[in-house]
Structure 1
Amino acid sequence: MKQFLDIVDPIHDFIRVHDTELKIIDSPVFQRLRRIRQLSGAHLTYPSAQHSRFEHSLGVMHIAGQAAVSLKEKGFLKTDQIQEIRLAALLHDVGHGPFSHLFEEVLQIKKKTSHEEIGKKIIQESEIGDILSKSGFDKKHITKLAFGYPKYRFVNEIISGSLSADMMDYLQRDGYFTGAEHAKIDHKRIIQSLDVYRTKLALEKSALYSFESMILSRYQMFKAVYFHKTVRSAEVMMLESIRLADDDCGFIDLNLDHYTKLTDEFVIAQILALPNHTSEQRRAKRFATDYQNRRLLKCVYEKIMTQKSGQSEQIRDKIAKKSKINKDDIFVDTSGTFSVPLTPAKEKTKSITLITHSKKPTEIPFSKIPVVSSMAESMNILRVYTLDNNRKKVEMAAKSILG
């Protein structure tokens, strides 16, 4: 009997899935990822961006497996580690909530937790952990590979970080489904050029241009897609709707049985089913309805900054006072990310180690790599949104206050 299945994929042509992986993929907990869009509200700006966390997870497993094979051929991994890395990559996003990174913002604000922490819980305590154990895998070990553990540094970096399978898949997948032309990367060259030096993932110097191109693509995708003003408008609305409805709906209940029911459409349905007893319920329903019907907030002010502003509430109060518009109808959004992805331990990545076979490996600071150093250390955008009928007054007030 055939012990694998080939899945057709528009990015990688075919993704081969083996026995234990297939059992995990077929579990209800994992199938839920089909109902969570990869780019939350981006489909309201880029209509084809309907892809989900499900196919992204398959893609990351595929690339991580290729990277593991490349490193095994160079003597850094054993054969049995390849399957462990593939499983960890498959499960790296299993803890994501509805609307992907949008829900992450709610988790951070209300529970000071992340999808990684919930992912650890799901692997340990759900049927996925049982499947791993029955198949002879250590679920605690797989969890450490998936979500970062200092002992396995370069293995963690295969899954997340500046040379990761995660980034190599999402850039190409998001570029393909949005139609953005910025995400053309040579991931096969990078995979074949991976190396290890002092427990850290390194790169053969000949592939430096491919790495530079990938980091530049990521920067451009944040500007053109992830932080697009209309994409963020939809996300700001849904964020507000979830926040207002949470007391009634209990979305942030971290009980696994409850959490693993949460999907994009489930959350919207719960909000729309609320009664109209309080102003919070009515506002939550209005924002959810407007999100569905693409009646979005208008961006009236935008400013690129070198560092993230921590003054959102004060700015909102000042604009409301000057414009004489209810502050509940004014939204100050501060979007920010580092130019280069964080390490698996959520620290800033400052350098890359380059391998040349005739010389000693060298650690190059990003400040010495022209393409990377030309980008600011972090990308931060401050925007002010409001309802369409308030836009003129709020725009004038925002420009007066923020310059």
Structure 2
Amino acid sequence: MSDSSTIPLKKLKMDDSKVFNDPIHGTVKLDPLLIKIIDTPQFQRLRNIKQLGGAYFVYPGASHNRFEHSIGVAHLAGQLVEALRARQPELISDRDVLCVKIAGLCHDLGHGPFSHLYDQMFIPKVPPGPLGDKMAKWKHEEASVEMFNHLVKSNNLKLDELKLPEDMDFIREMINGPKDPKGGKKKPDAVEWPYKGRTKEKSFLYEIVANEWNGIDVDKFDYFVRDCHHLGMKNNFDHLRFIQFARVCEVEKRKHICSRDKEVNNLYDMFYTRNCLHRRAYQHRVNKIIEYMIAEAFLKADKHIQIEGSEGQLCTLSTAIEDMKAYTKLTDHVFDQILNSSSVELAEAKKILERIISRDHYRFLGETNPEQVPTGESHLQWEEELAAAVPEGGDGGVTLTREDFVVLVATFDYGKKDKDPINNVYFYSKRSPDTAKPITRDQVSKLLPECFSEQLIRVYSRKTDEQSVEAAWKHFTKWCKEKGFPEPQNTPPEVLEHRE
């Protein structure tokens, strides 16, 4: 860690900026204040959190971490806000630029072990305890704000270039968004302006780091190109073209970042790339069951993992979200901690992780693609139905129970559920650069998707011997017929293949 954390920023020279050689963006130069944030334990922690969670067990190149992604987002946030200022300098101040860069740098501080595995597959399944309903509602963005506050306070950072408290509020709002009294998130186009950090005249600044309105933000720009690079896939979206043509226009009494009309196909490529990444990597059928197994091991190990927090308090794998000192120590290393433990209490969790590294993961039986996944039915109910769906001719001497099945639902969309995200994008023309409006489908192409969302029901077998797997597949086939779902998109010989 740098010893400069207590040096007033006004005494730092521009020579204190540092240059990073990034494999994606090339030369990345960051301001002194951002370097001071990077040189803290809270930020360095991101070196040990995989960007793509369990995908590294499927894709050998997916070893990159949240650390380099966060630096990339800070760089792109600076590129976009500086490009906008170059075209419309009256809209953006030096403090605006610095705050946007800091928000980009710190937007992922709150990720837990294996990134989204922790906040989407582990924390929601932790039984209610001393934290009550917080477990079911907690998101990593909330922890990012708490970790940012902890980072500034515990390292005694001097924020001389910022105006307090509004700039701090602005950074927090860009990371997490303002809280709605009813529990949701308010949008920047709300009737009552919801932000404290900036007035509605600066509404477009809230669309740079994490854009809740249409999903076009520098966070995606970085992870699309970075993930594709490490996964060995093609990225059809050109974020530099978007930055080149982006400008601010006022639409319906709010200032938005708008794009040139000819760039609409580039933006459709962006959302298509998102869909492809989910299909081929993020929700790859083997990746998801491995992440499920890791989350299952975490649940079994939860109470037996002790992490020292503030004032000597001991936290568990889940309750660390309430104590940022303990959370700072929580990284992907917990996987090896469990795997190499000789503790009797961790034996069950260890056995699950041993199956992962031995490639003995739960076996994929197949997937079905119903027109609509039933609502109000739990995965537990489906697993019970699968066990009860005895095929004609019997089980071949194999007895299957609910515990032998795992059901997961994979959702694929363009980022706005079943809606076309381009409906929330405004476009200007070369002749009228200060006037923007939505673009209609018939102005784009007749080849656009008609459906923007679908869900697959995937079924796995915990037992991996051939006889049990074949019996489980027959149960799955029978269950699909009983539910009126399409037949599984697998045949028995494919089911018996061990490696994907």
TM score, norm. by length of structure 2: 0.73
Indicate which of 381, 387, 403 corresponds to 1:314: 381
Q: Is 1:332 equivalent to 2:407 in the alignment?
A: yes
Distance 1:129 1:339, change over 3 A: farther
Instruction: Give the length in aligned residue pairs.
Output: 395
1:144 maps to 173
**CA–CA distance in 1 between the matches of 2:458 and 2:318?**
27
Q: Is 1:107 equivalent to 2:120 in the alignment?
A: no
1:366 CA drift (Å): 7.0
Q: Is the 8 A contact 2:265 2:444 kept in 1?
A: no
**CA–CA distance in 2 between the matches of 1:143 and 1:367?**
40
Task: Quote the sequence identity (%).
Answer: 26
User: Hey, which of these two has a bigger chunk of helix by percent?
Assistant: 1
Farther-moved stretch of structure 1 (214-223 vs 261-270): 261-270
Q: Is the 8 A contact 1:351 1:364 kept in 2?
A: no
1:188 CA drift (Å): 0.5
Give the letter for the 2:324 counterpart. L
Distance 1:187 1:240, change over 3 A: same
1:288 CA drift (Å): 1.5
1:252 CA drift (Å): 1.0
2:426 maps to 353
**CA–CA distance in 2 between the matches of 1:117 and 1:385?**
33
Q: Is the 8 A contact 1:97 1:103 kept in 2?
A: yes
Give the letter for the 2:479 counterpart. I
**CA–CA distance in 1 between the matches of 2:430 and 2:158?**
41
Farther-moved stretch of structure 1 (27-36 vs 386-395): 386-395
Q: Is 1:220 equivalent to 2:220 in the alignment?
A: no
Matches within 5 A, 1:3-402: 3-75=16-88, 76-105=91-120, 106-110=122-126, 111=135, 112-127=137-152, 133-137=158-162, 138-149=167-178, 150=188, 151=195, 153-161=203-211, 162-181=215-234, 183-197=235-249, 198-249=254-305, 250-253=316-319, 254=321, 255-270=323-338, 272-273=340-341, 275-276=343-344, 281-305=346-370, 307=372, 310=375, 311=377, 312-322=379-389, 324-340=399-415, 350-359=423-432, 360-364=435-439, 370=445, 373-374=448-449, 376-387=451-462, 388-389=464-465, 390-402=468-480
1:205 CA drift (Å): 1.0
**CA–CA distance in 1 between the matches of 2:279 and 2:80?**
28
1:171 CA drift (Å): 0.7
Distance 1:116 1:274, change over 3 A: farther
Give the letter for the 2:176 counterpart. F
Farther-moved stretch of structure 1 (4-13 vs 299-308): 299-308
Farther-moved stretch of structure 1 (116-125 vs 102-111): 102-111
TM score, norm. by length of structure 1: 0.90
Give the letter for the 1:95 counterpart. G
1:380 CA drift (Å): 2.2
Q: Is the 8 A contact 1:31 1:54 kept in 2?
A: yes
1:365 CA drift (Å): 5.9
- Across the aligned residues of Structure 1 and Structure 2, the Cα RMSD in angstroms comes to 2.6
1:362 CA drift (Å): 1.4
1:392 CA drift (Å): 1.2
**CA–CA distance in 2 between the matches of 1:31 and 1:186?**
30
Q: Which protein is bigger by CA-based radius of gyration?
A: 2
Q: Secondary structure at the match of 2:369?
A: strand
